[in-house]
Amino acid sequence: MPRSARGGRARMVAARAILFLISIVADAGAQGFGRPPDEDARVEWSASEDRRGRPVISGYVYNQRSGAWATGVRLLVEGLDASGHAMESTTGSVLGEVPPSSRSYFEIKPAAKAASYRVTIQSVSWRAYGAGGG
């Protein structure tokens, strides 16, 4: 085989190897490797009643990212029966944004009283500094 043909073949093999490695890295990113979202935002809450005896879930969502604002934070409040099974659910939002390395208050009124409650972060978006404010 002439020398120029061998060089072209080597370049083609090298290009295929590079494309293969790029596809592996792209697949790994699509699978969400890295920090899970629950490490970046967490919720602390308590259940109480308002003056009329209706349940109120209130607390704080903490943003543990130092370089991004938590925006559009949606919370899921599940009313549980005595055995811990979900009876009903209500969604609510944190008003405004949660600043980096800080917290924001929320208050959600479930539709019905329950033996206990479970509060989870349903969704959150992230906005870095300089991306339209902050």
Residues 62 and 49 in one domain: yes
113 shares a domain with 59: yes
Q: 65 with 3, same domain?
A: no
Per-residue pLDDT band at 133 (split at 50, 70, 90)? low
Do both 3 and 55 map to the same domain?
no
What φ, ψ does residue 38 adopt, rounded to 5°?
-70, -15
| Residue 42 included in any domain | yes
Question: Does residue 134 belong to any structural domain of this protein?
Answer: no
Q: What is the largest CA-CA distance in the chain?
A: 91
Kindly indicate the confidence band of residue 69, based on its pLDDT and cuts at 50, 70 and 90: very high
Q: Is residue 133 part of a domain?
A: no
- In this predicted model, what pLDDT tens digit does every residue of 81-121 receive, in sequence order? 999 999 999 999 998 999 999 999 999 999 899 999 999 99
Give the range of the structural domain holding residue 22, as residue numbers without chain letter: 1-34
Residues 8 and 45 in one domain: no
CB–CB of 37/43 below 8 Å?
no
52 vs 7: CA distance, rounded Å:
83
Residue 114, phi then psi, degrees to nearest 5: -140, 165
Residues 110 and 48 in one domain: yes
Q: How many domains does the chain have?
A: 2
101 and 43 housed in the same domain: yes
Neighbours of 64 (CB within 10 A): 16
pTM of the model: 0.68
DSSP 3-state of 120? strand
Examine the domain organization and report whether 28 and 70 are in the same domain: no
Q: Which residues pair with 41 in a beta bridge?
A: 63
Q: Which carries the bigger pLDDT value, residue 80 or residue 133?
A: 80
